[in-house]
Structure 1
Amino acid sequence: MAITRRKKFIMGRPMRGGWRPFAARALALGVAPALVVGAGVGIVAARGTAGAVTEAVAADTPFTVVGHGHGHGRGMGQWGAYGYAAEQGWAAERIIDHYYGGTPLDSIPQRPITVRLVGLDGQGLNVYSDAGMNVAGRPVAPGEVAHLTATPGGGASVAVTKGCEGEVLWQGATDHPWVDPVDLAADRPAEQHLKLCGGNSFRGSLGVALEGAEPRVVNHVDLEDYLLGVVPAESKPEWADTGGAEALRAQAIAARSYAASEHRYGYADTCDTQDCQVYPGSTKEDPRTTEAVRSTAGRALVRDGNPVAAEFSASTGGFSAGGVFAAVEDKGDASAPVHDWTQVLTAGDIAEAFGVGELQSVTVTSRNGLGADGGRVTGMRVVGSEKTVDVDGDAARRELGLKSDWFTIAEGLVPAPAAPAAPPDGRQAAPDDAAPEVPTPTEIEKKYAELGGANGVLGAPVGPEMAMPDEAGKFRMFTHGAIVWTPTTGAQVLDASVLGSTLPGAGSAG
């Protein structure tokens, strides 16, 4: 559906501020304070002056985006997995089979994985351990800190200090650019983990490398130990307390499969951010997710003898996106706090995101046909005064900062969808997954509703609610008039006939 509300603006481009110069003109004409309004979106700024006519949507015109789900939607939906486990009693294997199209589960051998710690890009390594550690063939005692800087040829320069910023105890160079724990075996106790100065702790070894000339820090760790850090970061350990333990087991299987398929860099298999899988080391390990990892040890999705990149995202919105794995209906997602969401952008936001000049229209050109509203966006066209841009749904999601690529976009302010019912047993969503809040109606919105809304005498809104020039109140323009609010008079209606007789030259654009 094309969104093409066009307006003719005399004397060049519309102003983002809502045509405040016109409001000042109204004040100069002596209009009663209760009826003073700045001309909203679509009011002609000057009268009787020749100039070019430009068709555009005013920059402060609101567009409401209503969407479903959170994330790319490919593979498993984490909230859906929880719904299937906690509310329908599905086992992890059934959850995995549902989302990943019957891809076989098999055992993969134990192996290490190397993880780029992206937050330390461009830095050296500063690390210690409560149990001591080893570097450059020498022991480093508890309380001593090893500082490594990568050097060309695969080595490192090393300095050991007393504390993170204390005196230098010794320094040198090594061709083994790793700090190793006192015991290299898997599943070591917390006091043997390596700790970054001012940062997280890690199982396994920590080392340095160069990517071109850029320093990198890498964690070399057993795959199962790695998953002990990933699963509580990518899902919610508390799900185990409300019937969702099988969802955590499904998460462990998916995360193991994804990690085992990774080979991203010459110096590391994967990374520690959302671009790969979120991995904060051992700092956030939890007994409930540790049990999920250990109870599924070695189990992974395998195709042609190789682990499969089993993608997952927070919420599918009710239908997965398809791709490597066939799209499936996701009834488990029904109570997800991000099952439905609403976001308001302005025409200026959209135009700036795609660099098209002044926005003229936004058109969803294609969808995947799966689920409500025609499904996920696969094509969108943004037309502006300077150029036209065609993007797919992922690009639209990224550029506009949306939660997913399953959305509709319409001009104006559209009521937010009802939030899903609270999950049973007092379960709570994490703050970053909270359902969008529905704002309390303003006094202007209440008055507009009393008059029948868009079907009433004022017609549809033609701009957002805005402050009056002297901050004495607020106003909002509609097709056939305006509503003005001040603390002393409350919400008052100014119809189009009063606009025309009181404010010469004023009028709403068609």
Structure 2
Amino acid sequence: MRPIAFRRLVGVVLSATLAMALGLTIAPAAPAAAASAGGDATFAGHGWGHGRGMGQFGALGYAINYGWNYAQILDHFYGGTTLQGVGNPLMTVELMARTGTELVAIGRGLTVNGGQLPEQSTTGTAVRVTPSGTSFLIETAASCAGPWSAIGTAPTVKLSTSSQASADNYIRVCEAAGERFYRGALTVQRHASTGVETTFNELSTEDYLRGVVPHESPDGWGSLPNGMEALKAQAVAARSYALSGTRSSGARTCDTTTCQVYLGAAFQPWGPNPESLDGKNADAAIAATAGQVRMFGSVIARTEFSSSTGGWTAGGVFPAVVDLGDSVGYNTRSSWATTLPLSTVATKLGTGQISSIVVIERNGLGADGGRALKVLVTMTGGAQRTFTGDAIRLQLGLNSDWFSISSVSLAESQSVVRALYQDLLGRGPDPTGLAGWSAALVSGTSQSELVGALTRSDEYIALRVTKAYNEVLGRGPDPQGAADWLAQIRAGYGTVDDVQLRFYGSQEFFLITGGTTAGYIQRLYTTMLRRGASDADVAAWAGVLASSGPAAMVNAIWFSTEAASVRAGDYYATFLGRGPDPTGLAGWTQVLLAYGQGAVRIGIAGSLEYRAKAIVRYP
């Protein structure tokens, strides 16, 4: 008897989604996708920002779609931390636009280093502070435009107002477009590291947050059902982030996205009335969480956050977690795409002319294998440089480090969609399907994801069930049988490949083969192995049939290396129009035995070889 090495199926056949996550989407002989020399590179990705800690859209999604409260949201994104109170300490904010330049401010009831200034106009008194040796020159005027009169010098300067009862009493910094109002005081001092003039806004933490929360998360979120919980989560995260920091300037935080956005209390363009920069809902969220921060033991946690995680956080200080809330309908930043000429990429990365650029390592979390960890750039002379995904994000100005790189055109994407519809569904795509999937491929959906989506469709399942009935039982499916199989496969109790397997072990198929043990075994060999069974084969399997039943015998043959090799080879013919090469066949046979036929379908139909042939078939 010719021996058959077989491996029994253990557990449930892995899903197409898991197969993709395991990196089984590239045919063995196919090179990794990359942008090629002389053209453009399309970066298509997920998320907006660094992805560490809380996703702001994720917080909104968990609040309005899952009913979570702010503590649950924070527990999810900031694993290992606890919620504690720290009161209302003083906050110092470096005003970045003022670093290295003079300060011009105006206010009613203005004081300088505790001394009250006389009012010079109905809008108050203006002060200009400029460097003078090791000190600062202090000048006053009736308006931001001067003319200026010196009143003295001081090594540090603190400007405040005698009252903070309303916005009219706040200090206003004179800017090119108008006046920006600040609560608290303004201090001018030398930068602790560089020595240049710097301006800090000094105020209570709770007042500071009023200028942060509505600009980090839209105030309108608080008007959505349970949306206030997202704003409360933002308030706690912003409070923790600010209080955990120190800057080289000597301030605790700053007012730009380098730290977190802080716009002050109000802004008045030249002429119109001032516009309040507070938010009614944000103020309520700040008050409801007053003094609360996230703590690592006795240390305030550096609770970073970003707009959209894309569906998975990046990990780091806090454990990486899935972000189901990120799919909330209000999120327009979950997926993105941008195309850059390779010459521009080379200039921004500081390389020579680029031959190819490809992601070579990912973190394994989420679609396309997750965030890019390493990107290999090959130059036309053969030299190579490796960049981190985050370096690529920052140097190219990408939205996140979760991206794929390709040079796929719309026409090529349409060719792939047409070919996959024909090979999997036996028809051309409808206009909506063609347009939608072609756009998805261009914008970053992988070819393998499209294969997975089509093979999970009811249409594909129905076609495969019908094919199993016809090929194994020689008849079409009865309506109830077809409906039952569809329901089972939808519910995850089987795959389309299980239908054929189950039919081979049925009494109906046994009778079709002639109702004899020898005929049954011979038919199984010719259909599964494409060869006849020897007398020794028949005798051996007859013993298995008698002792263990038809299901055990069928499974043993079906999951043998020889039968798996036949089925894997068929996919070469179906998708690539050729026979398998020995190395590729051996590899895909092992994939089939370990992960199921779905992994092979996705791998081969998701390969670059398939793409290249699809473009030729449907130019």
- TM-score scaled by structure 2? 0.56
1:167-316 matches, cutoff 5 A: 167-168=147-148, 171-183=151-163, 188-197=165-174, 198-211=178-191, 212-243=194-225, 244-283=227-266, 284-316=277-309
1:143 matched residue in structure 2: 124
- SS of the equivalent of 2:365 reads coil
Q: 1:380 aligns with which of 372, 375, 381?
A: 375
Quote the offset at 1:363 in angstroms. 1.9
Q: Is the 8 A contact 2:358 2:377 kept in 1?
A: yes
Structure 1 residues 269-305: Cα deviation after superposition (integer angstroms, max 9, x where no partner) = 1111101111111121111111111110100001131
Q: Are 1:159 and 2:159 matched, yes or no?
A: no
Shift of residue 400 of structure 1?
A: 2.0
How far did 1:346 drift? 2.3
CA offsets 1:166-225 (integer angstroms, 9 cap, x no match): 344551123441101214xxx742122110123311111112122234221111111111
Residues 65/191 of structure 1: CA separation in 2 closer, same or farther (3 Å cut):
same
* Preserved contact between residue 150 and residue 177 of structure 1 (Cα < 8 Å): no
Maintained 8 Å contact 2:312/2:322: yes
Offset of residue 93 of structure 1: 0.7
Q: Supply the distance in 2 between the matched residues of 1:337 and 1:167 (Cα, whole angstroms).
A: 49
Structure 1 residue 151, shift from structure 2 partner: 4.6
Q: Does the 8 Å CA contact 2:160/2:184 hold for their aligned counterparts?
A: yes
8 Å contact kept, 2:90–2:204: yes
> How far off is 1:332 after superposition?
0.4
Q: What's the counterpart of residue 411 of structure 1? A: 407
> 1:48 aligns to what?
none
Opposite residue 146 of structure 2, the aligned amino acid is: G
**CA deviation after TM superposition for structure 1 residue 412, in Å:** 2.4
Q: Distance in 2 between matches of 1:209 and 1:413?
A: 55
- 2:87 corresponds in structure 1 to 109
Contact conserved, 1:233 with 1:278, CA < 8 A, in 2? Answer: yes
| 2:115 paired with 1:134 | no
Over 3 Å counting, the alpha-carbon distance change for 1:351 and 1:174 in structure 2 is: closer
Aligned mates of 2:197, 2:294 — CA distance in 1? 34
Summarize the Cα distance change of 1:300–1:151 in structure 2 as closer, same or farther, 3 Å threshold: farther
Letter in 1 for 2:180: N
Q: Which residue of 1 aligns with 2:336?
A: 341
- Higher share of residues assigned strand: 1
Query: Does residue 357 of structure 1 match 2:352?
Result: yes
Provide the rounded CA distance (Å) in 2 between the counterparts of 1:261 and 1:314: 20
What does residue 389 of structure 1 align with?
385
| Separation (CA, whole Å) in 1 of partners of 2:113 and 2:240 | 34
Task: Using the TM superposition, give the Cα deviation of residue 395 of structure 1 relative to its aligned residue in structure 2, in angstroms.
Answer: 0.4
Corresponding residue number in structure 2 for 1:459: none
1:429 equivalent in structure 2: none
8 Å Cα contact 1:2-1:362 kept in structure 2: no
Cα distance in 2 for partners of 1:378, 1:68 equals 14
1:66/1:342 contact within 8 Å kept: yes
Give the whole-Å Cα distance in 1 for the aligned partners of 2:387 and 2:362: 12
- Distance in 2, matches of 1:205 and 1:270, equals 15
The answer to whether the Cα contact below 8 Å between 1:124 and 1:208 also exists between their aligned partners in 2 is no
Check whether the contact 2:98–2:198 (CA below 8 A) recurs between aligned residues: yes
Pairing of 1:33-48 with structure 2 (within 5 A): none
- Measured against aligned partners, the alpha-carbon deviations of 1:6-40 in whole angstroms (never above 9, x if no partner) come to 6xxxxxxxxxxxxxxxxxxxxxxxxxxxxxxxxxx
**CA separation in 2, counterparts of 1:191 and 1:122?**
28
CA RMSD for the aligned pairs?
2.6
1:379 touches 1:393 (CA, 8 Å); kept in 2?
A: yes
Amino acid at match of 1:362: I
| Aligned match of 2:69 | 91
Q: Deviations over 1:373-428 (max 9, x none)?
A: 11100000101135422111100111222111111111222569xxxxxxxxxxxx
SS of equivalent to 1:395: helix
Q: Distance in 2 between matches of 1:298 and 1:203?
A: 18
Measured in 1, the distance between the counterparts of 2:375 and 2:155 equals: 53
User: Could you tell me how far apart the structure 2 residues matched to 1:88 and 1:199 are?
Assistant: 42
* Structure 1 unaligned residues grouped into runs of 5+: 7-56, 417-437, 442-454, 456-477, 481-494, 496-510
For residues 479 and 346 of structure 1, the distance between their equivalents in structure 2, rounded to whole angstroms, comes to 23
> What is the letter of the counterpart of residue 247 of structure 1?
A
Question: Secondary structure of 2:260's partner?
Answer: coil
Structure 1 match to 2:32: 2
CA positional deviation for 1:352: 2.3
Residue of structure 2 in register with 1:468 after alignment: none
Q: Which has the larger radius of gyration?
A: 2
The change in CA–CA distance for 1:399 and 1:413 in structure 2 (over 3 A counts) is farther
SS in structure 2 at match of 1:218: strand
Q: In the TM superposition, what whole-angstrom CA distance separates every residue of 1:114-141 from its partner, at most 9, and x where no partner exists? A: 1111111221111112x32201443232
Counterpart contact for 1:4–1:360, Cα < 8 Å: no
* Residue 324 (structure 1) aligns with: 317
| CA positional deviation for 1:88 | 1.7
CA contact (8 A) 1:161 1:170 kept: no
Distance 2:126 2:234 in 1: 36
Identity of matched residues, %: 37
Tell me the distance in 1 between the aligned counterparts of 2:294 and 2:35: 49
Matches within 5 A, 1:429-440: none
Q: Which residue in the other structure is 1:35 paired with?
A: none
Alignment correspondent of 2:590: none
Q: CA separation in 1, counterparts of 2:152 and 2:308? A: 50
Q: Deviations over 1:477-505 (max 9, x none)?
A: x988xxxxxxxxxxxxxx9xxxxxxxxxx
Between the aligned partners of 1:207 and 1:149, the Cα distance in structure 2 is: 13
Q: Which amino acid counterpart does residue 293 of structure 1 have in structure 2? A: I
When residues 218 and 5 of structure 1 are mapped into structure 2, their CA distance, relative to the original with a 3 A threshold, is closer
Give, in whole Å, the separation in 1 of the partners of 2:139 and 2:389: 50
* 1:402 paired to 2:402: no
Structure 2: segments with no counterpart, 5+ residues: 1-30, 267-276, 415-438, 443-575, 577-613
2: CA distance, partners of 1:381 / 1:298? 46
Question: CA contact under 8 A between 1:3 and 1:361: conserved in structure 2?
Answer: no
Code of the aligned partner of 1:145: A
Q: Is the CA contact 2:53–2:313 (under 8 Å) kept in the aligned structure 1? A: yes
Distance 1:66 1:169 in 2: 57
- How many pairs does the alignment contain? 369
Structure 1 345/169 Cα, relative in aligned 2: closer, same or farther at 3 Å?
closer
Cα distance change, pair 116–151 in 1 and its aligned pair in 2 (3 A): farther
SS in 1 for 2:284: helix
TM-score (normalizing by structure 1): 0.68
The answer as to whether partners of 1:149 and 1:208 remain within 8 angstroms in 2 is: no
Distance 1:398 1:106, change over 3 A: same
Distance (Å, rounded) in 2 between the aligned partners of 1:77 and 1:263: 23
SS at match of 2:327: helix
